[in-house]
Amino acid sequence: MREKPDGGAKFERKMAFLSAFGRELDRSRRSALASGREFLLLGDLNIAHLPHDVTNWRPTQKMEGFLPEERDWFGAQLGPRRLVDVVRRVHGDRPGPLSWWSWAGASFTKDVGWRIDHHLATPGLARAATSVTVDKEPSPDRRLSDHAPVVVEYSRG
């Protein structure tokens, strides 16, 4: 949280980390391209970027993981010559797919969640993405995690 319970110190540390992490992402991306390789970052970033990435985006705007500062940081990592949100590119400008659901209530069963697990790739690799699926457990009783793997298939080219 930006303010409670520590007056915002934790959030300030998070934003400082994201700033440094953004610089490291840029260095890694540039290094890969300089050596003739593509670059892919995938995993749980604990940030949902767009309204399509959360089920109830209006109230979520005041929650950590979807705060304007975090979303701005995420957006700054993306660009036509930087990194591409592969899931959004393939899935399109529509809700989902979701990759995280709260343990509370029936979030998983009702598919009320967030997409905080990402594939961010250099544009060349992003163009090779052909499909996106979320490997969601078939029933809430079988869940081992509050996340489900986001699987992207890439063509060889």
For residue range 50-78, what is the model confidence (pLDDT) as tens digits? 999 999 999 999 999 999 999 999 999 99
pLDDT at residue number 157? 67
Q: pLDDT tens for residues 109-138? A: 899 999 999 999 999 999 999 999 999 877
DSSP for 40-85?
Answer: EEEEE-S---SGGGBSSHHHHTTSTTS-HHHHHHHHHHB-TTSBEE
Dist CA 12 CA 2 (whole Å): 8
Q: pLDDT tens for residues 18-51? A: 999 999 999 999 999 999 999 999 999 999 999 9
Dist CA 93 CA 98 (whole Å): 14
pTM of the model: 0.91
pLDDT band for position 142 (50/70/90)?
confident
pLDDT at residue number 85? 98
Q: How are beta strands 40-44 and 117-121 bridged, if at all?
A: antiparallel
pLDDT at residue 95 tops 70: yes
pLDDT at residue number 137? 78
Six token digits for residue 141? 């009783």
pLDDT at residue number 4? 64
DSSP secondary-structure letter at 83?
A: B
DSSP for 94-132?
Answer: SS----EE-SSTTHHHHT-EE--EEEEE-HHHHHTEEEE
pLDDT at residue number 1? 53
pLDDT at residue 140 tops 90: no
Average pLDDT score over residue span 81-106: 95
